[in-house]
Amino acid sequence: MPQDAFTIRYVTKELCGLLKGGKISKIIQPDRETVTFIIYTASGNVKLDACLSARGCRLSLTGCDKPVPKTAPGFCMLLRKHLANAQITGVAQIPFERIVYFDFDCTSEFEKLKMRLYVELMGKYSNAVLTQNGVILGALKTAAIGENTKRVLFPGVKYSLPEPQDKISPDDTAAIKEALKNSPADKAEFISQRIKGVAYSTAADIAETFNNNPAAEEIKEYLCGDEYSPCVTYADGEPADFKARCASADKRDFPDILSAQREFYDFVYKKQLTENARKELTGAVFDAEKKLRKRLQAINEKLLDCRDAETVKLKGELLTANLYAVERGRESFEAVNYYDENGGKIKIALDRSLTPSQNAQKYFKRYAKLKRTQEISSAQREETEKKLDYLSSIRAHICAAESLFDLAETREELKANGLIKEPAAKKEKAVVTPFRKYIIGGFTVLAGRNNIQNDRLLKHIRPDDMWLHTHGFHSSHAAILTEGKTVPDGVLAAAAEICAYYSDGRGGTKVPVDYTRRKFVKKPPASNPGFVIYTDYKTILVNPDGHKDERAEQ
């Protein structure tokens, strides 16, 4: 992301216009490297994130609600102590540096003070430092003497700026012109390496704007001028970056840099939350599958031990038939196997301490035990395989999820099955998430997001509505609301493509999708969520397609 001094200049200018005169209403620290300020301004409350992580460091407005820790970290408590209800008197940038500072008028019961908060957006060296009269009151990341650092960031020490980079100032036309004389063919690399405060992505835009041959005056005007056109760039249909100026064609323009930045980082934050939730749920399913596979292995080993049950029974029968010929105290007896067409013989091991009749009964008892074990283990194997198949269906829905919205009910499904344990909390009314909804060719097409929704979808549609499910793959259930009309082939194909897209056959080319009327779909009693049986169906082969352009607003 182009959080370089060039972009930060526009961000700072807009923040100053928006926040100057505003008052700090609330300060929270949702994670170790992010501080969120809720600021009351003339245009209402705004949330300002100061993210100081190695990746994604920034100052940006946000519309996302962040978690509030039960216990505030020390730096957050320090900011609350000094900046609660403080008025922002100015926001400025250290020229051509990735450092922004906020000036505050702080009023307590006894005195009025002026304080300054420096926000250093420098990758892994990012930090926030609160000062009064140039002396450090506290820092998010402290660095004392002896910690192998060039700067001391510790309470009571005078604040000093980081050492400036040995690069050309963007407003030094003469120096830029001189450097261009010996510049390499890759102008973007040259600009980002030699000119202060310019990220490579910004340098690439400069080079592209001036056909890879920018003059010194053009570089200066680009970096120091007032012209800018904020936008969010896109790749594969998703926000890829935000920029103050951009030569890309695949972009969406915004009225100001703060709006573009907010749009992009809110998307990144929600995507990260979704990926974290997906990882958590996938891990819970994986652990459950691992236990079931271990159980299935043990069951199969038991069944393997039972494979000789009929031979044990045969030996008991042969002993019973030959009681007159078996002498007590023998270790074995060789009997003619009358089930063998060739009249072969079978050797039977005996217990010398038992009578021939007792040895026969011992074989029959062992046979009965093996048969019971076999019956019980077979039922357990069937049940375990069903559970594994059910977990596979949950995993398919987790993989197909596109947002936290899609994962909400899956989390509840896993909690109901005891696969996720969370601390007891105040019970709230469950939020029922709507189906995925599309309008295709005048028909409404619905698709479930998870097993719970698949069951709900089955109850929601009418007997003559069309129901779809992938053949041989776990997938979302889909439905076409017919309203008594004949469904055109194009609508049927589109609904099948949606069904295939939200399945674990999504990575393939052609996916078979079964379709039938709702009246031919039944849910067996006490079956797992999402499980159904159906008849009178036909199958269509389609390429998976999410049809997101036809998604109705929800």
DSSP 233-257: EEETTEEEEEESS---SSEEE-SSH
Collapse the DSSP code of 189 into the 3-class scheme (helix H, G, I; strand E, B; otherwise coil) and give the result.
helix
User: What are the two backbone dihedrals, phi and then psi, of residue 236, each rounded to the nearest 5 degrees?
Assistant: 55, 35
CA atoms of 500 and 503, how far apart (whole Å): 5
Chain segment 211-269, per-residue pLDDT in tens: 888 999 999 999 998 888 999 999 888 899 999 988 777 889 999 999 999 999 999 99
CA atoms of 390 and 109, how far apart (whole Å): 63
* pLDDT value, residue 492: 96
CA atoms of 527 and 389, how far apart (whole Å): 12
* pLDDT value, residue 142: 85
- How far is the CA of 389 from the CAs of 297, 395, 407, 416, 473, in angstroms? 16, 10, 19, 17, 10
CA atoms of 326 and 256, how far apart (whole Å): 101
Which part of the chain has CATH 1.10.287? 284-432
Q: Cβ–Cβ contacts within 10 Å for residue 322, how many?
A: 16
* pLDDT value, residue 186: 87
Give pLDDT < 50 ranges for the chain: none
Alpha helices in 195-244 (DSSP H): 200-209, 216-224
Report the length, in residues, of the chain: 554
Residue with tokens 């100001």: 256
**Residue 348 in tokens:** 């039977």
* Cβ 59 vs Cβ 11: under 8 Å: yes
Please count the CA atoms within 13 angstroms of the CA of 116 that sit on its side-chain side.
19
**Residue 328 in tokens:** 């007590």
CA atoms of 52 and 123, how far apart (whole Å): 8
Which part of the chain has CATH 2.30.310.10? 5-139
Collapse the DSSP code of 356 into the 3-class scheme (helix H, G, I; strand E, B; otherwise coil) and give the result.
helix
Give the single-character DSSP code of 118: E
**Residue 326 in tokens:** 């078996």
User: What are the two backbone dihedrals, phi and then psi, of residue 395, each rounded to the nearest 5 degrees?
Assistant: -60, -35
* pLDDT value, residue 344: 85
CA atoms of 356 and 401, how far apart (whole Å): 67
* pLDDT value, residue 107: 82
Residue with tokens 């009351």: 40
Chain segment 14-40, per-residue pLDDT in tens: 999 999 999 999 999 999 999 999 999
Residue with tokens 């097409």: 445
Give the single-character DSSP code of 431: P
State the Cα torsion 272-126-40-81 to the nearest 10°.
120
**Residue 177 in tokens:** 């012109």
pTM for the model stands at 0.78
**CATH 1.10.287 correct for 284-432:** yes
* Cβ 476 vs Cβ 400: under 8 Å: yes
Residue with tokens 């957050």: 76
CA atoms of 416 and 421, how far apart (whole Å): 9
Collapse the DSSP code of 59 into the 3-class scheme (helix H, G, I; strand E, B; otherwise coil) and give the result.
strand
**Residue 215 in tokens:** 């003059």
- Please say whether the dihedral angle defined by the alpha carbons of residues 292, 298, 299 and 304, taken in this order, is positive or negative: positive
Pick from 430, 436, 459: which is nearest to 529 by CA? Answer: 459
CA atoms of 361 and 316, how far apart (whole Å): 7
**Residue 507 in tokens:** 């990575």
Q: Which helix (H) or strand (E) is 143 found in, with range?
A: none
Task: Provide DSSP, 310-353.
Answer: HHHHHHHHHHHHTGGGPPTT-SEEEEE-TTSTT--EEEEE--TT
CA atoms of 401 and 503, how far apart (whole Å): 10
Strand boundaries in 33-184, DSSP class E: 34-41, 44-51, 58-61, 87-93, 99-107, 112-120, 127-132, 135-139
Residue with tokens 């506290």: 138
* pLDDT value, residue 165: 84
* pLDDT value, residue 548: 86
- How far is the CA of 267 from the CAs of 30, 305, 402, in angstroms? 18, 56, 12
Annotation: CATH topology of 5-139: ibrinogen binding protein from staphylococcus aureus fold (2.30.310)
